[in-house]
Amino acid sequence: MNKCRLFLSVLTIFLAIQMLNAQVKDHFLEVDQVLWVVEDLEKTIQGWRELGFDQILNLGNVSAEFPSENGTFIFQSAKANLGGANITWIQSGKGKNILTNFHKDYGDGAMSLVHELPGNEELADEIERLSSKGVSVIEKFTIHTDKGPLIYVLMDTNEKGKYFLGYTYGNTDDELMKNLSDGNLHNMKINQYAFAIRQPEPVSGFWASLGFPEFQISHPELDNMHYYGQPTDHKLIQGWQRHGTVAYEWCIPVKPPIVYEDHINTHGEGIHHLAFSVDDMDIVIDDYKIKGYVNSMGGTWGKKGQPGSGRYEYIDLEKTGGVTMELLWNYK
């Protein structure tokens, strides 16, 4: 009887998630790219190459048009495939525009998760849909490359949603990215896009109003916790959105010291880390330590050596583009 009830409970949850996901717009099911602003592009590229990610295309100097500022700006930019996460890096540069303003307020970091639409007509429909919900376009800008234009539309979601919802369309990205694979030194695969925030309820409600699923809240029970080499007893709340190909994890610090609290204090709320699944945690950690990278936090969950258990470790990349890396290993 207990097994039957457990099966029915799991089935009910599964069907509820399937019904919820069916209501999510198709373009929200996959992040086309992460728009990421840094102060020193060369340093950021070098750092990620040291970490074992060499699928990077440096675009050099590019011009970008910002209609709201009635101006054209010159930036350095690069594209990368980080274990399946497509990245557009932009060096912040000078002048006043949404990219430099973000960097001034936030520092190095990812500002937008960008979704691809088929074309301008679909974009107009999406803008109209979001406008009816009180969300407007904050900027539409174009980056000119040798392969053609990169078009970005950013919505005014940062204050309530903690990042800029972005859109793009056109074939230029495909041309630039087609020779970049998801291969890397340690065979790491993108597992999560993750955020650090204070309160889950208003953020969850905001994204739900735009067509994303509400957060599934969990209170993880963790063991063997450490923070910059010292034992600790940190606690957090997790908010999960599993609507697409890669999960969103919203991290709410409860008991410091904890890296999410550090991030909020340094940058503010927003995109905190990219999480990657790894085959052998110790090999990766040892390699990174030899290269001078610091294991900032980590721990385990579940009963060691049993199904459902695993280990998490964070790599401090504050000086390598500002977005932290989380390594995840699950018992198989």
Angstrom distance (rounded) from CA 130 to CA 155:
9
Query: Which of 146, 177, 208 marks a domain boundary?
Result: 177
Same domain, 109 and 207: no
Same domain, 236 and 325: yes
Average pLDDT, the chain: 93
> Which three-class secondary structure state does DSSP give residue 173?
helix
Each residue's pLDDT tens digit, 260-279 = 999 999 999 999 999 999 99
Catalogue the E-assigned strands of 146-206: 148-155, 164-168, 189-196
142: domain CATH number?
A: 3.10.180.10
Question: Using 50, 70 and 90 to split pLDDT, how confident is the model at 216?
Answer: very high
> Which residue segment(s) compose the domain that 67 sits in?
26-177
CA triple 189-195-199, angle to 5 deg: 150
Query: Which of 177, 211, 228 marks a domain boundary?
Result: 177
Residue-wise DSSP of 250-304: EEEEEESS-HHHHHHHHT-SEEEEEEEE-S-HHHHHHHHHHTT-EEEEEEEESST
Instruction: Please give the model's pTM, rounded to 2 decimal places.
Output: 0.92
Question: Using 50, 70 and 90 to split pLDDT, how confident is the model at 68?
Answer: confident
CB–CB of 123/173 below 8 Å?
Answer: no
Q: Is residue 8 assigned to a domain?
A: no
Same domain, 217 and 131: no
Same domain, 250 and 326: yes
Same domain, 204 and 164: no
Any idea which of 58-72, 222-236, 278-292 has the lowest mean pLDDT? 58-72
Same domain, 168 and 199: no
Same domain, 141 and 211: no
Same domain, 40 and 171: yes
Same domain, 70 and 168: yes
Question: Alpha carbon 89 to chain centroid distance?
Answer: 13
Same domain, 57 and 154: yes
The structural domain count of the chain equals: 2
